[in-house]
Each structure stands twice: as structure tokens, then as C-alpha cells.
């Protein structure tokens, strides 16, 4: 079995220590274990991306809360300012003092 560090498609970044495999899964795979290792590296990259996305969303959460509260206040103000257009007596069945019943 060939170890990844001995393979020609193995690269390690000297600054960060990140490992990259430049092998093509459909043509240059040397062993079956290479596919499993590539899948693990891809999953690790996806996990890192997901964690960065969560951190970004955590930073945006306070701003989103402020925006939602502002929008709710604006909508309440609009509803309050348009209350005069709706006659509350129309929906009240007790106040049936219509002089013209028919």
C-alpha cells in the first residue's frame, strides 16, 4: 500500500500544513484507499465552509433582529395611521341602530 506522503499527487502547504491531493478520481487513482481519503478531504472542506457560514450568520443575527423589529414598528405605524379608514361600528352587531333597515 502506498502512503499518501509518498504519492506524486500529494501536496502539503508549508505555511498552513493543509493537504491537497491533485489526483483525478477517474484516471489517476492508484489504490482504492485513495478514493476514501479524497472523500474525507472533501468532507473536511465542506465542514470548514459550513462552520464559516455559521460564524457569518451569527455576526448577522443582531442586524437581522434590528431590521425585523424596525419593519414590525413601521407596519404597526402604517396600520395605526390607516385605522381611521375602517369604521368599527360596521362590525358591531349590538349597535344595530340603522334608520334604514331595508
Given a contact cutoff of 8 angstroms between Cβ atoms, the answer to whether 95 and 89 are in contact is yes
Cell of 18: 493543509
pLDDT at 89: 55
pLDDT at 86: 74
How crowded is residue 9: how many other Cβ atoms within 10 Å of its Cβ?
15
Given a contact cutoff of 8 angstroms between Cβ atoms, the answer to whether 20 and 13 are in contact is yes
- 2: confidence class by pLDDT, cuts 50, 70, 90: confident
Q: At 12, phi and psi to the nearest 5?
A: -120, 130
Distance between CA 49 and CA 40 in Å, rounded?
Answer: 14
Rg (CA), the chain: 33
pLDDT tens per residue, range 32-62: 888 888 888 889 989 999 999 999 999 999 9
pLDDT tens per residue, range 72-99: 999 999 998 888 887 665 555 565 566 6
Q: At 63, phi and psi to the nearest 5?
A: -70, -40
Query: Has residue 10 got a pLDDT over 70?
Result: yes
Amino acid at each position: 500500500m502506498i502512503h499518501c506522503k509518498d504519492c506524486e499527487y500529494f501536496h502539503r502547504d508549508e505555511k498552513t500544513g493543509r493537504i491537497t491531493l491533485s489526483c483525478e478520481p477517474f484516471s489517476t487513482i492508484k489504490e482504492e484507499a485513495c478514493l476514501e481519503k479524497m472523500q474525507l478531504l472533501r468532507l473536511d472542506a465542506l465542514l470548514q465552509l459550513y462552520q464559516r457560514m455559521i460564524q457569518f450568520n451569527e455576526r448577522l443575527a443582531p442586524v437581522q433582529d434590528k431590521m425585523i423589529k424596525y419593519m414590525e414598528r413601521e407596519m404597526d405605524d402604517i396600520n395605526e395611521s390607516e385605522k381611521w379608514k375602517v369604521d368599527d361600528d360596521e362590525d358591531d352587531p349590538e349597535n344595530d341602530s340603522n334608520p334604514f333597515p331595508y
